[in-house]
Amino acid sequence: MLFDRKALIPTPDTLKPVEADLMARLAANRLFWCGRGATALYFAYRLIHRAAGKTRGEVIVPAISCPTLAATALMAGLTPRFADCDPETGMMSETSLNERLSEETRAVVFIHLYGQTVDLSGLRKICDQRGIFLIEDMVQALGGCTPGGQQAGSQGHMAVMSFSRTKILECGGGCLALRHEVLERALEEEARCFEPVEPLPPEAARILAISSRNLHHALVGFMRLDNVEQVAAEFLKWRPFFDRLYVEPMTNPDTVAATWAGLQSSLSRRLEKAALYERLLEGGPWKLLRGWSQSGVSWRYSLLTDFPESLVRLSEAVRGDGYHVSNLYWPVQRFFRPEDACPKADSFGRRIINLWVDDSVSEKDVEGCAGSLLKHCSDS
Protein backbone atom coordinates (compact mmCIF):
# COMPACT_ATOMS: atom_id res chain seq x y z
CA MET A 1 0.00 0.00 0.00
CA LEU A 2 1.21 3.52 -0.74
CA PHE A 3 0.38 6.88 0.81
CA ASP A 4 -0.35 9.01 -2.25
CA ARG A 5 -1.32 12.68 -2.13
CA LYS A 6 -5.02 11.95 -1.70
CA ALA A 7 -5.43 8.40 -0.45
CA LEU A 8 -3.80 5.15 0.57
CA ILE A 9 -3.62 3.24 -2.72
CA PRO A 10 -2.29 -0.18 -3.84
CA THR A 11 1.47 -0.39 -4.36
CA PRO A 12 2.24 0.76 -7.93
CA ASP A 13 3.68 -1.83 -10.34
CA THR A 14 7.12 -0.15 -10.50
CA LEU A 15 7.61 -0.77 -6.78
CA LYS A 16 6.42 -4.38 -6.77
CA PRO A 17 9.86 -6.01 -7.30
CA VAL A 18 11.34 -3.95 -4.43
CA GLU A 19 8.35 -4.78 -2.28
CA ALA A 20 8.80 -8.52 -2.96
CA ASP A 21 12.53 -8.32 -2.15
CA LEU A 22 11.96 -6.39 1.10
CA MET A 23 9.10 -8.61 2.26
CA ALA A 24 11.26 -11.69 1.73
CA ARG A 25 14.26 -10.19 3.54
CA LEU A 26 12.17 -9.00 6.49
CA ALA A 27 9.64 -11.83 6.54
CA ALA A 28 7.00 -9.09 6.43
CA ASN A 29 3.33 -9.56 5.52
CA ARG A 30 2.62 -6.07 4.29
CA LEU A 31 4.47 -2.86 3.39
CA PHE A 32 3.28 0.72 3.66
CA TRP A 33 5.18 3.21 1.46
CA CYS A 34 5.29 6.89 2.36
CA GLY A 35 7.34 10.07 2.00
CA ARG A 36 9.81 9.71 4.89
CA GLY A 37 10.74 7.70 7.97
CA ALA A 38 8.87 10.08 10.27
CA THR A 39 5.63 9.37 8.38
CA ALA A 40 6.21 5.62 8.73
CA LEU A 41 6.62 6.10 12.50
CA TYR A 42 3.52 8.30 12.73
CA PHE A 43 1.41 5.63 10.99
CA ALA A 44 3.00 2.86 13.09
CA TYR A 45 1.76 4.68 16.21
CA ARG A 46 -1.69 5.20 14.70
CA LEU A 47 -1.95 1.49 13.90
CA ILE A 48 -1.08 0.71 17.52
CA HIS A 49 -4.02 2.82 18.70
CA ARG A 50 -6.36 1.12 16.25
CA ALA A 51 -5.07 -2.35 17.15
CA ALA A 52 -5.41 -1.67 20.89
CA GLY A 53 -8.78 0.06 20.50
CA LYS A 54 -7.42 2.90 22.66
CA THR A 55 -6.48 6.48 21.97
CA ARG A 56 -3.93 7.04 24.73
CA GLY A 57 -0.95 5.33 26.29
CA GLU A 58 2.83 5.39 26.37
CA VAL A 59 5.58 4.37 23.96
CA ILE A 60 9.11 3.73 25.20
CA VAL A 61 11.81 5.12 22.90
CA PRO A 62 15.61 5.16 23.22
CA ALA A 63 17.24 8.21 24.84
CA ILE A 64 19.92 8.27 22.12
CA SER A 65 17.78 9.01 19.09
CA CYS A 66 16.68 11.82 16.81
CA PRO A 67 13.72 13.84 18.21
CA THR A 68 11.47 12.42 15.44
CA LEU A 69 10.45 9.28 17.36
CA ALA A 70 9.08 11.24 20.29
CA ALA A 71 7.64 14.12 18.22
CA THR A 72 5.60 11.79 15.98
CA ALA A 73 4.44 9.84 19.06
CA LEU A 74 3.02 13.06 20.52
CA MET A 75 1.33 13.85 17.17
CA ALA A 76 -0.32 10.44 17.25
CA GLY A 77 -1.46 10.91 20.86
CA LEU A 78 1.09 8.62 22.55
CA THR A 79 3.21 9.82 25.46
CA PRO A 80 6.91 9.16 24.85
CA ARG A 81 8.95 7.69 27.72
CA PHE A 82 12.70 7.30 27.49
CA ALA A 83 14.94 4.32 28.22
CA ASP A 84 18.63 4.72 29.00
CA CYS A 85 21.36 3.23 26.82
CA ASP A 86 24.09 0.64 26.90
CA PRO A 87 27.14 2.88 27.53
CA GLU A 88 29.24 0.92 25.00
CA THR A 89 26.91 1.25 21.99
CA GLY A 90 24.32 3.97 22.74
CA MET A 91 21.51 1.49 22.02
CA MET A 92 18.57 0.92 24.38
CA SER A 93 19.39 -1.07 27.50
CA GLU A 94 16.97 -3.84 28.45
CA THR A 95 17.44 -3.08 32.16
CA SER A 96 16.34 0.51 31.72
CA LEU A 97 13.49 -0.54 29.44
CA ASN A 98 12.19 -2.89 32.13
CA GLU A 99 12.11 0.01 34.60
CA ARG A 100 10.00 2.12 32.23
CA LEU A 101 7.42 -0.54 31.36
CA SER A 102 4.01 0.12 32.92
CA GLU A 103 0.31 -0.61 32.49
CA GLU A 104 0.23 2.36 30.12
CA THR A 105 2.92 1.02 27.77
CA ARG A 106 1.57 0.21 24.30
CA ALA A 107 4.82 -0.16 22.36
CA VAL A 108 8.62 -0.07 22.42
CA VAL A 109 10.78 1.39 19.64
CA PHE A 110 14.29 -0.01 19.29
CA ILE A 111 16.85 1.78 17.06
CA HIS A 112 19.69 -0.16 15.40
CA LEU A 113 22.02 2.81 15.86
CA TYR A 114 24.68 4.06 13.37
CA GLY A 115 24.68 0.63 11.66
CA GLN A 116 25.18 -1.40 14.85
CA THR A 117 22.55 -4.09 15.40
CA VAL A 118 21.25 -6.17 18.30
CA ASP A 119 19.51 -9.54 18.37
CA LEU A 120 15.99 -8.63 19.52
CA SER A 121 14.53 -12.05 20.30
CA GLY A 122 14.66 -11.34 24.07
CA LEU A 123 13.00 -7.95 23.67
CA ARG A 124 10.38 -9.43 21.35
CA LYS A 125 9.56 -12.04 23.99
CA ILE A 126 9.10 -9.33 26.66
CA CYS A 127 6.74 -7.45 24.32
CA ASP A 128 4.76 -10.56 23.38
CA GLN A 129 4.33 -11.52 27.05
CA ARG A 130 2.89 -8.09 27.82
CA GLY A 131 0.79 -7.90 24.65
CA ILE A 132 2.54 -4.75 23.42
CA PHE A 133 4.19 -3.98 20.07
CA LEU A 134 7.87 -3.89 19.18
CA ILE A 135 8.80 -1.40 16.45
CA GLU A 136 12.25 -1.83 14.94
CA ASP A 137 13.76 1.39 13.62
CA MET A 138 16.19 0.07 10.98
CA VAL A 139 16.76 3.42 9.24
CA GLN A 140 20.48 3.39 10.08
CA ALA A 141 20.93 -0.36 9.52
CA LEU A 142 19.17 -0.92 6.17
CA GLY A 143 20.46 -4.15 4.62
CA GLY A 144 22.34 -5.21 7.77
CA CYS A 145 22.10 -8.33 9.89
CA THR A 146 22.01 -8.97 13.62
CA PRO A 147 24.71 -10.82 15.63
CA GLY A 148 22.43 -13.88 15.40
CA GLY A 149 22.54 -13.70 11.60
CA GLN A 150 19.00 -12.44 11.08
CA GLN A 151 18.09 -9.43 8.96
CA ALA A 152 17.87 -6.20 10.94
CA GLY A 153 14.18 -5.32 10.89
CA SER A 154 12.91 -8.89 10.85
CA GLN A 155 12.19 -9.33 14.58
CA GLY A 156 9.77 -6.56 15.55
CA HIS A 157 6.01 -6.46 14.87
CA MET A 158 6.83 -3.49 12.64
CA ALA A 159 9.98 -2.10 11.03
CA VAL A 160 10.59 1.51 10.01
CA MET A 161 12.76 2.54 7.05
CA SER A 162 13.79 5.88 5.56
CA PHE A 163 15.37 6.71 2.22
CA SER A 164 15.75 10.42 3.02
CA ARG A 165 18.86 12.46 2.36
CA THR A 166 21.71 11.47 4.76
CA LYS A 167 20.36 7.89 5.19
CA ILE A 168 21.75 4.70 3.55
CA LEU A 169 19.83 5.21 0.29
CA GLU A 170 19.13 8.87 -0.39
CA CYS A 171 16.45 8.80 -3.08
CA GLY A 172 13.69 10.09 -0.75
CA GLY A 173 10.84 8.10 0.78
CA GLY A 174 9.98 5.92 3.73
CA CYS A 175 8.48 2.53 4.43
CA LEU A 176 6.78 0.64 7.24
CA ALA A 177 6.85 -3.18 7.29
CA LEU A 178 4.06 -5.02 9.14
CA ARG A 179 4.34 -8.51 10.59
CA HIS A 180 1.10 -9.06 12.52
CA GLU A 181 -2.48 -9.70 11.40
CA VAL A 182 -3.99 -7.23 13.82
CA LEU A 183 -1.78 -4.50 12.40
CA GLU A 184 -2.67 -5.43 8.82
CA ARG A 185 -6.35 -5.09 9.69
CA ALA A 186 -5.60 -1.76 11.36
CA LEU A 187 -3.96 -0.57 8.13
CA GLU A 188 -7.04 -1.55 6.11
CA GLU A 189 -9.15 0.48 8.50
CA GLU A 190 -6.69 3.37 8.27
CA ALA A 191 -7.09 3.31 4.46
CA ARG A 192 -10.90 3.37 4.74
CA CYS A 193 -10.92 6.29 7.19
CA PHE A 194 -8.06 8.19 5.56
CA GLU A 195 -8.38 11.97 5.51
CA PRO A 196 -6.02 13.65 3.03
CA VAL A 197 -3.43 16.00 4.50
CA GLU A 198 -2.42 18.94 2.40
CA PRO A 199 1.38 18.60 1.95
CA LEU A 200 3.44 21.71 2.62
CA PRO A 201 4.58 23.65 -0.47
CA PRO A 202 8.24 22.67 -1.08
CA GLU A 203 9.66 26.09 -0.23
CA ALA A 204 7.73 26.26 3.05
CA ALA A 205 8.87 22.73 3.90
CA ARG A 206 12.47 23.71 3.21
CA ILE A 207 12.29 26.78 5.44
CA LEU A 208 10.55 24.89 8.24
CA ALA A 209 13.13 22.07 8.07
CA ILE A 210 16.02 24.54 8.31
CA SER A 211 14.30 26.27 11.19
CA SER A 212 13.80 22.95 12.99
CA ARG A 213 17.47 22.00 12.55
CA ASN A 214 18.70 25.40 13.72
CA LEU A 215 16.45 25.24 16.78
CA HIS A 216 17.80 21.77 17.61
CA HIS A 217 21.42 22.91 17.28
CA ALA A 218 20.77 26.00 19.38
CA LEU A 219 19.04 24.04 22.14
CA VAL A 220 21.77 21.38 22.27
CA GLY A 221 24.20 24.26 22.78
CA PHE A 222 22.17 25.55 25.74
CA MET A 223 21.87 22.05 27.17
CA ARG A 224 25.63 21.56 27.10
CA LEU A 225 25.58 24.36 29.68
CA ASP A 226 23.07 22.37 31.77
CA ASN A 227 20.05 24.61 31.35
CA VAL A 228 17.84 21.58 31.10
CA GLU A 229 14.44 22.16 32.70
CA GLN A 230 14.06 25.58 31.13
CA VAL A 231 15.15 24.43 27.67
CA ALA A 232 12.73 21.49 27.69
CA ALA A 233 9.84 23.78 28.63
CA GLU A 234 10.69 26.15 25.76
CA PHE A 235 11.17 23.32 23.26
CA LEU A 236 7.80 21.75 24.05
CA LYS A 237 6.15 25.10 23.30
CA TRP A 238 7.79 25.30 19.85
CA ARG A 239 7.54 21.64 18.88
CA PRO A 240 3.98 21.62 17.39
CA PHE A 241 5.00 24.22 14.75
CA PHE A 242 7.11 21.51 13.10
CA ASP A 243 4.42 18.79 13.06
CA ARG A 244 3.52 19.58 9.45
CA LEU A 245 6.95 18.39 8.31
CA TYR A 246 6.35 14.83 9.43
CA VAL A 247 3.40 13.56 7.36
CA GLU A 248 4.54 13.27 3.75
CA PRO A 249 3.12 11.15 0.89
CA MET A 250 5.44 9.17 -1.39
CA THR A 251 5.87 11.03 -4.67
CA ASN A 252 8.76 9.08 -6.26
CA PRO A 253 8.06 5.32 -6.47
CA ASP A 254 9.97 5.10 -9.79
CA THR A 255 13.10 6.60 -8.24
CA VAL A 256 12.91 4.31 -5.21
CA ALA A 257 12.60 1.30 -7.50
CA ALA A 258 15.59 2.43 -9.58
CA THR A 259 17.77 3.16 -6.54
CA TRP A 260 17.03 -0.09 -4.69
CA ALA A 261 19.33 -2.16 -6.95
CA GLY A 262 22.28 -0.07 -5.70
CA LEU A 263 21.86 -1.02 -2.01
CA GLN A 264 24.58 -3.70 -1.82
CA SER A 265 27.21 -1.65 -3.64
CA SER A 266 26.39 1.39 -1.51
CA LEU A 267 26.88 -0.76 1.62
CA SER A 268 30.25 -2.05 0.36
CA ARG A 269 31.57 1.44 -0.38
CA ARG A 270 30.56 2.48 3.15
CA LEU A 271 32.30 -0.55 4.69
CA GLU A 272 35.55 0.22 2.85
CA LYS A 273 35.61 3.71 4.33
CA ALA A 274 34.72 2.45 7.82
CA ALA A 275 37.61 -0.06 7.61
CA LEU A 276 39.95 2.76 6.58
CA TYR A 277 38.85 4.91 9.54
CA GLU A 278 39.39 1.93 11.81
CA ARG A 279 43.02 1.52 10.64
CA LEU A 280 43.78 5.22 10.86
CA LEU A 281 42.14 5.96 14.21
CA GLU A 282 43.21 2.84 16.13
CA GLY A 283 45.11 3.73 19.31
CA GLY A 284 43.81 7.34 19.62
CA PRO A 285 42.23 8.80 22.79
CA TRP A 286 38.82 7.32 22.04
CA LYS A 287 36.86 4.10 21.83
CA LEU A 288 35.92 2.98 18.32
CA LEU A 289 32.42 1.50 17.90
CA ARG A 290 32.88 -1.75 15.99
CA GLY A 291 29.33 -3.02 15.46
CA TRP A 292 29.47 -2.18 11.72
CA SER A 293 31.98 -4.96 11.01
CA GLN A 294 29.51 -7.58 12.25
CA SER A 295 26.28 -6.05 10.86
CA GLY A 296 27.67 -5.20 7.44
CA VAL A 297 26.36 -1.60 7.62
CA SER A 298 28.09 1.61 8.54
CA TRP A 299 25.71 4.56 8.56
CA ARG A 300 28.26 6.89 10.13
CA TYR A 301 31.63 5.83 11.51
CA SER A 302 31.27 6.42 15.24
CA LEU A 303 33.65 6.84 18.15
CA LEU A 304 33.45 7.85 21.80
CA THR A 305 36.09 10.34 22.89
CA ASP A 306 37.95 10.16 26.19
CA PHE A 307 37.82 13.97 26.53
CA PRO A 308 34.17 15.14 26.58
CA GLU A 309 35.15 18.54 27.95
CA SER A 310 36.89 19.54 24.70
CA LEU A 311 34.62 17.74 22.18
CA VAL A 312 33.08 20.95 20.82
CA ARG A 313 36.51 22.53 20.32
CA LEU A 314 37.72 19.40 18.51
CA SER A 315 34.78 19.18 16.11
CA GLU A 316 35.06 22.90 15.32
CA ALA A 317 38.74 22.40 14.50
CA VAL A 318 38.04 19.39 12.24
CA ARG A 319 35.25 21.32 10.48
CA GLY A 320 37.70 24.17 10.07
CA ASP A 321 39.95 21.76 8.14
CA GLY A 322 37.01 21.12 5.79
CA TYR A 323 35.60 17.77 7.04
CA HIS A 324 32.11 16.71 8.11
CA VAL A 325 31.87 15.77 11.77
CA SER A 326 28.79 15.67 13.96
CA ASN A 327 28.28 15.47 17.70
CA LEU A 328 24.60 16.36 17.91
CA TYR A 329 23.17 13.07 19.17
CA TRP A 330 21.94 14.67 22.33
CA PRO A 331 19.86 12.51 24.71
CA VAL A 332 16.30 13.38 23.72
CA GLN A 333 14.67 12.85 27.11
CA ARG A 334 16.28 16.20 27.91
CA PHE A 335 14.01 17.87 25.35
CA PHE A 336 10.80 15.98 26.06
CA ARG A 337 10.88 14.65 29.61
CA PRO A 338 13.98 15.43 31.72
CA GLU A 339 12.45 13.54 34.66
CA ASP A 340 13.05 10.23 32.79
CA ALA A 341 16.66 10.20 34.04
CA CYS A 342 19.09 8.57 31.58
CA PRO A 343 22.57 9.16 33.05
CA LYS A 344 24.36 6.79 30.65
CA ALA A 345 22.84 8.52 27.64
CA ASP A 346 23.82 11.91 29.12
CA SER A 347 27.43 10.76 29.22
CA PHE A 348 27.24 9.10 25.76
CA GLY A 349 25.86 12.31 24.22
CA ARG A 350 28.90 14.27 25.43
CA ARG A 351 31.37 11.74 23.96
CA ILE A 352 29.96 10.65 20.60
CA ILE A 353 31.53 11.71 17.28
CA ASN A 354 30.06 10.64 13.93
CA LEU A 355 32.11 10.70 10.74
CA TRP A 356 30.79 10.49 7.16
CA VAL A 357 31.26 7.33 5.06
CA ASP A 358 28.73 8.00 2.27
CA ASP A 359 29.39 8.92 -1.35
CA SER A 360 29.88 12.59 -0.45
CA VAL A 361 33.34 11.68 0.89
CA SER A 362 36.27 10.01 -0.89
CA GLU A 363 38.96 7.77 0.64
CA LYS A 364 41.21 10.83 0.51
CA ASP A 365 38.64 12.74 2.61
CA VAL A 366 38.62 9.87 5.11
CA GLU A 367 42.42 10.04 5.40
CA GLY A 368 42.30 13.82 5.73
CA CYS A 369 39.54 13.72 8.35
CA ALA A 370 41.32 11.06 10.43
CA GLY A 371 44.55 13.06 10.21
CA SER A 372 42.72 16.21 11.33
CA LEU A 373 41.17 14.39 14.33
CA LEU A 374 44.54 12.97 15.37
CA LYS A 375 46.22 16.35 15.01
CA HIS A 376 43.61 18.36 16.94
CA CYS A 377 42.84 15.84 19.70
CA SER A 378 46.16 16.73 21.34
CA ASP A 379 45.85 20.52 20.80
CA SER A 380 44.83 21.58 24.27
What does the binding site for ligand PLP look like in residue numbers (CB under 6 A)? 36-38, 66, 68, 111, 137, 139-140, 162, 164, 174
3-state secondary structure the chain: CEECCCCEECCCHHHHHHHHHHHHHHCCCEEEEECCHHHHHHHHHHHHHHHHCCCCCEEEEECCCCCHHHHHHHHCCCEEEEECECCCCCCECHHHHHHHCCCCEEEEEEECCCCCCCCCHHHHHHHHHHCCEEEEECHHHCCCECCCCCECCCCCCEEEEECCCCCCCCCCCEEEEECCHHHHHHHHHHHHCCCCCCCCCHHHHHHHHHHHHHHHHHHHHHHHCCCHHHHHHHHHHHHHHHHHHCCCCCCCHHHHHHHHCCHHHHHHHHHHHHHHHHHHHCCCCEEECCHHHHHCCCCEEEEEECCHHHHHHHHHHHHHCCCCEECCCCCCHHHHCCCCCCHHHHHHHCCEEEEECCCCCCHHHHHHHHHHHHHHCCCC
Least distance from ligand PLP to the Cβ atom of residue 174, Å:
5
**C-beta of 68: minimal distance to ligand PLP in Å?**
5
- Nearest distance in Å: CB 162, ligand PLP: 3
Nearer of residues 140 and 315 to ligand PLP, judged by Cβ: 140
Rounded least distance, CB 230 to ligand PLP, Å:
27
Select 66 or 177, whichever has its Cβ closest to ligand PLP.
66
Q: In angstroms, what is the minimal distance from the CB of 38 to ligand PLP?
A: 3
What residue is closest to ligand PLP based on CB?
37
Which one, 113 or 219, has the nearer CB to ligand PLP?
113
Q: Find out whether 35 and 3 touch, Cβ atoms under 8 Å.
A: yes
Nearer to ligand PLP, 144 or 174 (CB): 174
- Could you tell me the smallest distance in angstroms from the CB atom of residue 104 to ligand PLP? 23
Q: Quick one: 138 or 274, whose CB is closer to ligand PLP?
A: 138
**Which residue number, 139 or 281, has a Cβ lying nearer to ligand PLP?**
139
Closest approach, Cβ 229 to ligand PLP, in A, equals 26
Cβ 144 to ligand PLP shortest distance, Å: 13
Quick one: 242 or 286, whose CB is closer to ligand PLP? 242
Q: Toward ligand PLP, which CB reaches closer, 173 or 296? A: 173
Nearest one of 143, 123, 145 to 134, comparing CA atoms: 123
